[in-house]
Structure 1
């Protein structure tokens, strides 16, 4: 039962009604016997600043931040963790008396999952995109010592990402921007291919060029659900790191930041295995699986 003493958490984004974070985090709160609730909070572009001020005034204890607000949320924070500061994007907010503390849990989640998949020093990686998720992925790859190629539809965005993050991670990785048109050749030469774009995200159009995956190659998709990217990677025998895995891992880190407790990751994973009302329908692309969903 929700009462006046219930701690409130949530996710802000646009769109955000399809987010599976409420199922996942509410299952975690229940497993931990915490009097807390997590809700999806739609915030239109251009209204994030006032939304975050209002959320703090209302006493909301913590928030996740998703598309399109991750970079904008940085300016609303009174303090930042080193990853968020280096990446220039925030996906987790924790309430303090003086304002919001900002964290990036995407980066450590991505780093741990890539390391478990075998990505390490000297690996060659192709990263698609230059937004908040791509920035976290690039930071993670550089920390693992990978040689990163960044491709975005706007080459200048990829160049800006590389310039900002080239020296942000200490472990010897390298990063360079490559033309979007070189995606197929770069993918063929890569040990890992990561989708950090919003393609496949519910409510977002567009398609990625066909990626020539191969057996044993690592493929990571920040978007969860049965995306074209994930289907192609799985069909080719690539080692797929799914958006669901990233969702659980970054959500577990956020849970611990908010509560000071270890997160029940198995419970969170099980919550995502249950059908979701907004994704248990025919996909917009007619492929027969659920449409892609946000990374929160």
Structure 2
């Protein structure tokens, strides 16, 4: 990488960030397009968030991705929010041109799923009720799902999220329930989305949220976990003859959306995907 006085800086803020796969993905894209940009990860604790945003703005940094634990708290320091980021109440991308916040997590999941099937008119079950579930649920509603069911171990969290999605007026048929009864909800489901951390490295032998006998062959199963690539849930999906969607695709597409927000250039998806697979030792 040829760093010059003119090089534009974008990056990631979070705590911790050393595990991030975003730098090699974005830097490969910049290199492929011959762009004078570099992507860097910055470890920023909660106490340093305000000064990190103000400092980045003063230093003419072009954009940030935002990860745990800053996705909600960072909103306080922005000038405006994209419509969907405002609905979600969380930001994962900042464009410093106008200090505007976006949330590309949901669209990343949608584009990953749409490689296999459309969202419109489908019955979707989402497991988990945290930040990732919130981002994905609003996009599922926005893209025209017939129904949305949110399941969580803490049912009140699922119920609260379901209420927020209904109040957006994007979708009317939203239900909530216990993840322990997922088998009953999967009978009529077209798409299952797992936003829980179950099966994430190093806990690769966790009990999956659903077993192969709970699934049917027409079900599309997406797991937001991308390390390992083939999670315990996706192994069960393959065993059931269901269609797996890998978490690496969400990481890829949310990154591609951020890239286009910052640069106005079309993302070289194939280059980003190759870099991701190399980083995850999949190639």
Q: Would the TM-score normalized by the shorter structure come out above 0.5?
A: yes
User: 1:229 corresponds to which residue?
Assistant: 233
Partner of residue 268 from structure 2, selected from 264, 271, 274: 264
Q: Judge conservation of contact 2:238–2:244 (CA < 8 Å) in 1.
A: yes
Contact 1:119 1:146 in 2 (8 A): no
Question: 2:221 is matched with which residue?
Answer: 219
**How many Å separate the matches in 1 of 2:70 and 2:197?**
13
CA contact (8 A) 1:213 1:233 kept: yes
Contact between 2:129 and 2:157, CA under 8 Å: does it hold in 1? Answer: yes
Matched positions, count = 275
The answer to whether the Cα contact below 8 Å between 2:107 and 2:136 also exists between their aligned partners in 1 is no
Give the aligned partner of residue 162 of structure 1. Answer: 162
Deviation sequence 1:240-278 (CA, Å, 0-9, x none): 22111111111111111100111111111111121x3xx
- Tell me which residue corresponds to 1:77: 78
The residue that corresponds to 1:285 in the other structure is none
Q: Closer, same or farther in 2 for the Cα pair 1:55/1:245, shift >3 Å? A: same
Secondary structure in 2 matching 1:178: strand
Is there any run of 5+ residues in structure 1 with no aligned partner, and where? Answer: 281-288, 290-296
Structure 2 counterpart of 1:135: 134
Change (3 A) 1:203 1:88: farther
TM-score w.r.t. the length of structure 1 is 0.83
Give the Cα separation in 2 of the matches to 1:201 and 1:42: 22
Equivalent residues in 2 for 1:97-176, closer than 5 Å: 100-143=99-142, 144-168=144-168, 170=170, 172-176=171-175
User: For the structure 1 residues 72 and 213, does the alpha-carbon distance in structure 2 shift closer, same or farther, using more than 3 Å as the test?
Assistant: farther
Task: Give CA-to-partner distance per residue, 1:184-235, whole Å, 9 cap, x none.
Answer: 3223432111011233445789754334333221111222132222332233
Q: Counterparts of 1:42 and 1:203 in 2: how far apart (Å)?
A: 22
The one of 246, 252, 256 equivalent to 1:242 is: 246
Aligned alpha-carbon RMSD (Å): 2.5
Provide the rounded CA distance (Å) in 2 between the counterparts of 1:221 and 1:55.
Answer: 33
Partner of 1:286: none
1:190 paired with 2:189, answer yes
What is the Cα deviation at residue 46 of structure 1?
5.4
